[in-house]
Amino acid sequence: MNKTIKVLFIGDIVGRPGRNAVKHFLGGLLCAENTENTNNAQKPYDFIIANVENASHGFGLTEKNHNELAQLGIDCFTSGNHIWDKKDIYSYINNSDRLIRPWNYPKGTYGTGYRIFEVCDTKIAVMNFLGRTFMNPVDSPWEIVQNEIEKIKEEAPIVIVDFHAEASAEKICFGKFCSGHKISAVIGTHTHVQTADEKILNDYTAYITDAGFCGAYDSVIGMGYEGSLKRLMTSIPERFDIAESSVVELNAVEMSFDAVSGQSQSIKRIQIKKDISEVTL
């Protein structure tokens, strides 16, 4: 019988409330594991991915927060158009063993667009792309997949894509395109609102248009209401600040894959609301 690989993908982490939500959730998994009084107890996930481009006060990722999240057991960090917002990114992105930036930035850009990880005697490739509809100009993600996927799949049977894009139609089309290339999963990020369209495309590729976000529950996609309202009512640029709240939400998807073929076996949404005011973080 072929082994099943279980993967957790955590949606965009937004600021301190998002980091706290993830810390509480992953800490709870470890506590649950430790209470199993059996030698056969297993971790619930073999591999954990999280989008971290908004993890440091909503814009970018500092090296301090990178290291904090790594200590929680997150194996791979994906990102998006905000990954460059904290300038210390340039000092450590080339040295990180788990952070990737969108592959379709021009050649010569700091960092790398994909990584391959050894997991439970198999390999998982994680790729990151930016969409091009309503986004700043970038290279074609479609051409990169066409030109590179066969080489990557020779090394890693499981291939997971974070497609960081604005338009739902572009995400859906890219998911179908990737399923034709036997990519194991395409997970949409960027819009911060979890969609209810998880499915397996062509009996192979796990897909969801957006995984959602982790952050303050009473917020506008993680940001404070007043600043968002003022900007939308006046069309005048307004500083966005993270909404501070003890009530947080975590959005993620869990997936399982055949370790040999890379074929997706399941995809399930996770959405948790929690008051963590009395939790020690």
- Residue 82 is among the residues annotated as catalytic for this protein: yes
Backbone angles phi, psi at 231, to 5 degrees: -65, -40
User: Is the CB of residue 253 less than 8 Å from the CB of residue 272?
Assistant: no
Measure the CA–CA gap between 144 and 149, rounded to whole angstroms: 8
Q: How many CB atoms lie within 10 A of CB 34?
A: 9
Given 24, 82, 164, 192, the catalytic residue = 82
Tokens linked to 216:
């303050």
User: Which residues does the annotation mark as catalytic?
Assistant: 82
